[in-house]
Chains A and B, each alone.
Chain A
């Protein structure tokens, strides 16, 4: 479990996050939603130990992450950022292998090679193994980074806790790959002791795939719970200031504006 325990982050006099308290359970798809500037990315940064909150604590299981060193944390926690710029010629395999760096001593071991192979197969990038990363399309690059991030937290023993944070992972993907990615995440969650927290913009994607939705607005947690509980007409109208139509079709919630 990841616990954000009353997190406050300020920039000058503005509070980017204001006393946000929320738990993220393993085995579920936990998504954070909210309008631009709501504090979604800031929360992910705090959870990743990239940003230190002005007050409040973050716990992975029962360990305060301030007590865990950066290299130790990297062995159990992976982060996928909005956009990764890489302007050097490297092969796809070399990029994915970076995910194993926290586990290596001097050279990649058999475990590292196996993890890379498994992650590449999982995201269908195996046939690009030796291609130059810089020659790939935006969507292909994104899938390479999925593979890199997942290879980082593949555990030999599926009971070991792992943490995966996603900051708008679906930005450069078309609908097909968005759905495929979310299904892959469900598949990953089913066999592992994994806490997954992601930021998405698309409310329908959240409604379809999330087990828990956390709605942020102006740095405050408005509501947290199942999509049915959180994605109500009132909530959406208050936060996004657009009048929505909320429908239930074939057991899935749909939001349209």
Chain B
């Protein structure tokens, strides 16, 4: 079954990521040449003699390219975690209400923010979205707890997630209905995702949290492997299931709510990336976690390149690109019928 070793796959992916990153830095509304990049790097960010192109490189292109890698990685990692937790290879990170809750938080901000005098800083929208994502996930988790035993079965978790998702989306719908035109447009665009707003502040927050979550999740890959055989078997192999669930949900919230808070809802990355890796090399979660972090960054960078180049100098929302590519891949995977449910 193994065609390539883990290490070979990682090296190939890392090379592909490096090349992708370079393209992602160079191409956009303005093409930045290698000369510009070199001279900009020699001068440094704070030099007064930076040209306009060099400024664009430092202040717009570079943070955006990093954001693509970080957001792609975090969505893909949480895809792996959710698929392992739900023991179902066709599960998305948004399943337990995180991204729809964030969308609700963002819609709340767009419509009622000015009325409630929320306009404080550039951090208010991400904060509202993050709070929404977190609250809805906690809600899902609490509602799915069995009253008598205090346990939460994965099926209940899934169904509660579907219910809370529907609730949040109807809330978003209500806000869109109440909103004035420009607000409604903001909600719509936010729900399709955009990386154009990336700056160094948001990128560093996301980057640090993604690295911490990744390293944290890496400690639980074997327990997640055991969980593939079911909760009973995992228990027999010494896994404290209740604790594992809480930790995985926490990591997932940190990853998805934060990514969604800064760039909006981006669908299908978390579903498709782990899946492509399963096809190459199997389902060992350690491999999937590292591989998905790399491949997620690659795929989202390409999606963003397509989003900013097709209509340049205007931009397509990236959610449209990921869905257009993601849906056919998803259907293809379903039809291969490799999995039993």
A residues lining the B interface (CB < 8 Å): 48, 50, 70-75, 77-79, 81, 84-91, 94, 98-99, 101-102, 104, 130-132, 134, 152
- Give the Cβ gap from A76 to chain B, nearest Cβ, in Å: 10
CB nearest to B281 among chain A residues:
A89
Task: Please measure, in the bound complex, the distance between the C-alpha atom of A72 and the C-alpha atom of B228, giving whole angstroms.
Answer: 21
Q: Are A87 and B237 in contact (CB under 8 A)?
A: no
Does B1 belong to the interface (CB within 8 Å)?
yes
Rounded to whole Å, the gap between the CB of A16 and the closest CB of chain B is 16
Whether A131 contacts B339 in the complex (CB less than 8 A), given A74-B238, A98-B225, A101-B237, comes out as no
Which of A73, A78, A98, A132 interacts with B226 by CB under 8 Å?
A98
Establish whether residues B1 and A87, one from each chain, have CB atoms under 8 Å apart when the complex forms.
Answer: no
Complex CA–CA separation, A73 to B57 (angstroms) = 57
Extra contacts, 9 of them, besides A88-B278, A89-B283 (Cβ < 8 A), are A71-B240, A77-B236, A84-B233, A86-B229, A88-B283, A89-B278, A91-B2, A98-B225, A130-B2
Residues of chain B within 8 A (CB-CB) of A90 are 225, 228, 282-284
Can you name the residue of chain A whose Cβ is closest to the Cβ of B279? A89
B341 within 8 A of A: yes
B302: min CB distance to chain A, Å: 26
B282 x A94 contact (CB < 8 A): yes
Residues of A within 8 A of B226 (CB): 98, 101
> A98 contacts which chain B residues (CB < 8 A)?
225-226, 229, 237
Whether, in the assembled complex, B121 has its beta carbon less than 8 Å from a beta carbon of chain A, the answer is: no
A79 to B231, CA, bound (A): 13
Q: Are A79 and B236 in contact (CB under 8 A)?
A: yes
CB within 8 Å of A: which residues of B?
A: 1-2, 87-89, 222-223, 225-226, 228-230, 232-233, 235-240, 278, 282-284, 338-341
A48 to B238, CA, bound (A): 11
**Nearest B residue to A135 by beta-carbon distance?**
B1
A70 touches B235 (CB 8 A): yes
In the complex, A87→B229 CA distance in Å?
8
CB-defined contacts of B339 to chain A, threshold 8 Å: 87-88
Least CB distance from B300 to A in Å reads 25
Kindly state the separation between the CA atoms of A77 and B235 in the bound complex, as whole angstroms. 11
Interface of A is mostly: mixed
CA A131 – CA B2 in complex, angstroms? 9
7 A-B pairs with the lowest CB-CB distances in the bound complex, closest first: A74-B238, A88-B283, A71-B238, A102-B238, A79-B236, A132-B1, A89-B282
Most chain A CB atoms below 10 A, which of B87, B89, B232, B240: B232
- A74 near B228 with CB under 8 A, answer no
Are B228 and A86 closer than 8 Å at their CB atoms? yes
Q: Is the CB of A101 within 8 A of B222?
A: yes
CB < 8 Å: which of A70, A81, A89, A132 contacts B238?
A70
Q: Write the chain B residue with the least CB distance to A77.
A: B236
- The distance in angstroms between the C-alpha atoms of A85 and B226, with both chains bound, is 12
27 CB < 8 A contacts A-B:
A50-B235, A70-B235, A70-B240, A71-B238, A71-B239, A72-B238, A74-B236, A74-B237, A78-B236, A81-B232, A81-B233, A81-B236, A84-B233, A86-B229, A87-B87, A87-B228, A87-B339, A88-B228, A89-B338, A90-B225, A94-B282, A98-B225, A101-B238, A102-B237, A102-B238, A130-B1, A131-B1
Considering the complex, give the chain A residue whose CB is closest to the CB of B232.
A81
Chain B residues, Cβ within 8 Å of A101 = 222-223, 225-226, 237-239
CB distance from A156 to the nearest CB of B (A): 18
Across the interface, which residues of A come within 8 angstroms of B225, CB to CB?
90, 94, 98, 101
Select from chain B the residue with minimum beta-carbon distance to A149.
Answer: B236
Task: Give the residue name and chain of the A residue nearest to B218 (CB).
Answer: A106
* Cβ-defined partner of B232 (8 Å) among A50, A89, A131: A50
B340, closest chain A residue (CB): A87
Closest partner residue, chain B, to A95 (CB atom): B229
Query: Taking each of B88, B89, B228, B230, which has the highest tally of chain A beta carbons within 10 Å of its own beta carbon?
Result: B228
Assembled-state Cα–Cα distance A72/B2 (Å): 33
Q: A75 vs B237: C-alpha distance in the bound complex, in angstroms? A: 8
Residue from the set A86, A88, A89 with the largest chain B CB neighbour count within 10 Å: A88
